[in-house]
Every structure is written in C-alpha cells, then in structure tokens.
C-alpha cells in the first residue's frame, strides 16, 4: 500500500514537473534559464518544483501592462497638471550628448543640463546629507529603499520622517516587501501613527504569494521636488560599517539638484501608484544652476527591452580611454562581457573593483569564475581589501560617471527594478576618479595565474555556482 502511494506521488510530481517545464519554456526570459529549469523540472521535480513556484514565474499578474500604463499616466500627470512649462524648460537646459542618446531613447527619457551634484562617498556622508535635506522639507518627502532595518540607522530614518510629518509635511515611504522582510510591524505602525504614509512594494498588487523575483531594488529620496538622492545605500547599520565581518562597508551615493529630480519623482510615482492607486505630490524642480548634465535611468523587468543590460552595454561601448567599474557582484551576461572585451581591444583602460569577501556565497563563487574569465580577456580585476564593497559606480572616460543601484548581475539586468544617475560633468567625474583611484590603491589585482593556484574543489564549486547565473 505504501509503495503504491509513493508511486502515485512520484507520478504526480513528474506530471507537475513536465507541466512546469512547459511553462518555463514559454515564459523564462533567457534560453539558458529555460534550459536549466526544464532539465531540473523534468528530471528532479522533487527538488525543483517548489523553487520554481518562488523563482520561475515571469508574469506579474498584470503588473507589466499596468507599469507601462503608469509610466505614460505619471508622465502626463507631471507634465500637464503640475508643470505646464516643462517642454520650454527642457529646451533651455537640454544637453547635446549623442553618446547616450540611444539610452535616452530606450528609456523614453532625456539627458538635461543645469544640475548641481554632490558625491557622497560613504554611508556617514550620505545619510548626513539625506537627513539634513529631509529636515528642511516644507512640502513633501518621498523615500524609497530596498532594505530598511529596525536598528539604529533605521530608527534615525523613522524619527526624521516622523518629525517632518508632525510638522505638516507630506511623507511617503516605500520599501520592498522581500528586501525588508524582517521589518517589524511596530516600526511601520509608529510611522503610520505619526501620519507617514508607508507601504510595502509588491509585484502583485493585492497579494505577493510565491513571488521572490522582480524586487524593487531602487534607493530614492526626493525633497520638495528640488533635491534628490540616489545610489547604493539602504537604511541599515551595516551600511555604516557597524556590522562585522563585512565592515568597513564601502558604498557611494550622490545628491543632485536640477531638472532630473523630476525623473526621480516619476520613477517613485510609478511604483507608488502601483501600490496605492494614487499619485504622490509633485512640484517641478527649480531652474538649474549647475554645470552637470544628468540622465536618470530607471530600468526593470516591466520594460519592453532588457534595459539594464542594454544600459551597461551602451555605456561601455562609448568608452574611448577609460572604463572603471565598481560592483559587489560580478556576474555579467554575454552582452556586457563582450562589451568589456571589445573595450579592452579598443585600448580602453578597463578596471573592475569587486569584494574580497562574500555576503552571498553562491554569488561570490560565480563571481570568482567570471573574474578569472575576465582576467584572461585582459580586463583588470581588483579585490577591495579593507571591507565589503557594495558601491555601484561606473566612470567612463574623463567626463561621465554613473551612480545608482545597478549591480553587474542577472538580477539587476533582468529581475529587479533599478535606478541610476548618469552624470556628464568634468568636475564631478574628476571626484569620482579620485574616489575610485583611492579604492584601487587599497585593492589587490587578480592575476591570470591565480586560477591555477586555486584548489581543485574550489574551482569545481565556482563552475557549479555559475550554472545558477540566471537566478543570481
């Protein structure tokens, strides 16, 4: 009897595995990912069916279509309701930067001039600047983080938002429901009691059952429509280097004032509208007074194209003398890796800064494999020694810098909602160059012979880990 029951269960699992494999063939975004899922679901449904329920779905229960509709609607709301003179404003501040026009067209965005920028090199500087700006808010504050912890820094953020809300300022706070999975309800309740409108982001509007992919990884702060912040930092003590063994934590943010703040607001508005059905407040940014041109790149799996991967591919392709990158996870797809290789053949100084210690071991193992592959192609790879490097920074030639939330991995390329600011300005790029030069000086270069010196079992683990690239 027991054997019969087990046989029936095994048969049902295999039938379900075949059905799930058919779904994977039809809906997985890449051939490699589809093949991996099909192989596992057909041969080992006992161990792959449950992970597929959490990680394999590529449908958002209407989110994709709704997100595109919201992009149009929020742009209309911003352009017509609150900023009737927008086109004239953009014409007066438009920058002519043909290198990045393909990115702008892909994102239905634009690169505009007249920005003042500030490089915020670490967590202390970034949060000091953000808290100071929040304290000066008179109309509204929009805040979005992937991770918020109920720790010292998280409570400082809560107190700053509560103080503004108690003074009549409209405050909206959005956090990712998976990234902030351990945020206690008492933290949320204390904000709500003070008048802060705080919501979790979910890709399913009314429920988030069995959905771990398609996370909102963006980090945005906007104050009164005039000042914006974007970068790699979340709201937790580890981002201030307060949690060994990864400390000191190396991360970077930036502040910008100018017309691109409206694009930060638009990105926030789309996500907020999806969650609430409401449009947050909007004020047009004041006339730009700076020298920098900025393009805000908001990318994600709801885009028609694989916009994040294409963003990196184009930015790498335009480099002529220098391409310096910093990323915590180096798991590039073939398009980005090919762009990096071609940059080397053009004579570009290509350097990539990565961690020397892991925060996610499977990703770190896969990253080690791709690191050695990159070194063989002439890409210079450096491991940062003092602590964990989490910054997402790119320097192109002498005039362009990118700071945001985008990692060099499949999750950022295809599974997460991301955002970054591409800034064209000699002075700002010069500061980023000095910052990265200091980081490289505290790093050890990976050499071609290092792979041969790696233990055999470690090499096997690296090759096995890279099989999971599509979901890392």
In the annotation, is 224 catalytic?
yes
**Is the domain 307-471 a CATH 3.30.300.30 member?**
no
Instruction: Encode pLDDT of 75-85 as tens digits.
Output: 555 554 444 45
Residue 27 has pLDDT above 70, yes or no: no
The residue assigned the tokens 């057909």 is 42
The average pLDDT across 251-274 equals 94
Domains 63-289 and 307-471 alike in fold: yes
Name the catalytic one among 23, 93, 110, 390.
390
pLDDT of residue 360: 85
What is the CATH superfamily name and number for domain 63-289? Endonuclease Chain A (3.30.870.10)
pLDDT of residue 359: 86
In the annotation, is 217 catalytic?
yes
The average pLDDT across 282-311 equals 90
Residue 248: cis peptide before it, omega within 30 degrees of 0: yes
pLDDT of residue 83: 47
pLDDT of residue 70: 60
If pLDDT is split at 50, 70 and 90, which confidence band does 210 have? Answer: very low
pLDDT of residue 7: 74
Q: Phi-psi category of 225—alpha, beta or left, where left has phi over 0 and alpha has psi -120 to 50?
A: left
Name which of 69-73, 226-230, 439-443 the model is least confident about: 69-73
How far is C-alpha 91 from the geometric centre of its chain's CA atoms? 30
Name the catalytic one among 397, 399, 409, 425.
397
In the annotation, is 219 catalytic?
yes
Name the catalytic one among 224, 257, 333, 425.
224
* Angstrom distance (rounded) from CA 176 to CA 156: 19
pLDDT of residue 322: 98
* Angstrom distance (rounded) from CA 90 to CA 164: 31
Residue 337 has pLDDT above 70, yes or no: yes
The average pLDDT across 72-93 equals 51
Name the catalytic one among 23, 93, 97, 217.
217
The domain ranges of the chain are 2-55, 63-289, 307-471
Residues contacting residue 50 through CB under 8 Å, at least 6 positions apart: none
pLDDT of residue 33: 67
The average pLDDT across 137-148 equals 98
CA dihedral 220, 123, 365, 362 (to 10 degrees): -60
């Amino acid at each position: 009897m027991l054997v019969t029951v087990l046989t029936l269960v095994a048969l049902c699992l295999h039938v379900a595995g075949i059905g799930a494999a058919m779904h994977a063939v039809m809906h997985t975004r890449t051939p490699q990912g589809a093949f991996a899922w099909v192989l596992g679901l057909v041969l080992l449904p006992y161990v792959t069916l449950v992970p597929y329920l959490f990680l394999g779905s590529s449908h958002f229960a209407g989110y994709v279509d709704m997100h595109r509709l919201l992009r149009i609607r929020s742009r209309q709301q911003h352009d017509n309701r609150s900023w009737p003179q927008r086109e004239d404003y953009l014409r007066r501040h438009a920058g002519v930067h043909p290198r990045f026009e393909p990115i702008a067209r892909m994102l239905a965005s634009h690169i505009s001039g007249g920005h003042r920028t500030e490089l915020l090199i670490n967590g202390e500087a970034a949060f000091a600047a953000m808290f100071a700006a929040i304290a000066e808010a008179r109309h509204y504050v929009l805040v979005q983080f992937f991770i918020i912890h109920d720790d010292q820094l998280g409570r400082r953020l809560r107190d700053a938002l509560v103080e503004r809300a108690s003074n009549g300022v409209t405050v909206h706070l959005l956090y990712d429901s998976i990234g902030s999975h351990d945020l206690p309800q008492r933290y949320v309740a204390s904000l709500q009691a003070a008048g802060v409108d705080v919501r979790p982001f979910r890709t399913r509007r009314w429920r988030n059952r069995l959905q771990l992919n398609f996370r909102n990884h963006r980090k945005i702060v906007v104050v009164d429509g005039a000042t914006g912040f974007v970068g790699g930092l979340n709201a937790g003590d580890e981002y201030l280097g307060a949690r060994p063994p990864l400390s000191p934590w190396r991360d970077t943010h930036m502040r910008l004032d100018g017309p691109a703040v409206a694009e930060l607001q638009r990105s926030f508005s789309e996500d907020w509208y999806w969650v609430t059905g409401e449009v947050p407040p909007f004020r047009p940014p004041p006339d730009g007074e700076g020298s920098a041109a900025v393009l805000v790149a908001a990318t994600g799996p709801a885009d028609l194209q694989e916009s994040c991967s294409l963003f990196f591919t184009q930015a790498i392709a335009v480099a002529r003398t220098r391409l310096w990158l910093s990323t915590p996870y180096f798991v590039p797809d073939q398009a980005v890796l090919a762009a990096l290789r071609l940059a080397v053949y053009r004579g570009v100084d290509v350097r990539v800064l990565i961690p020397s210690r892991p925060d996610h071991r499977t990703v770190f193992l896969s990253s080690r494999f791709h690191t050695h592959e990159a070194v063989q192609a002439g890409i210079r790879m450096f491991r940062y020694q003092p602590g964990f490097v989490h910054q997402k920074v790119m320097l192109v030639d002498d005039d362009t810098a990118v700071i945001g939330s985008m990692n060099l991995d499949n999750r950022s390329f295809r599974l997460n909602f991301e955002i970054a600011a591409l800034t064209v300005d000699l002075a700002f790029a010069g500061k980023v160059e000095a910052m990265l030069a200091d980081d490289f000086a505290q790093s050890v270069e990976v050499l071609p012979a290092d792979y041969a010196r790696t233990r055999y079992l470690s090499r096997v683990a690296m090759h096995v880990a890279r099989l999971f690239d599509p979901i890392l």
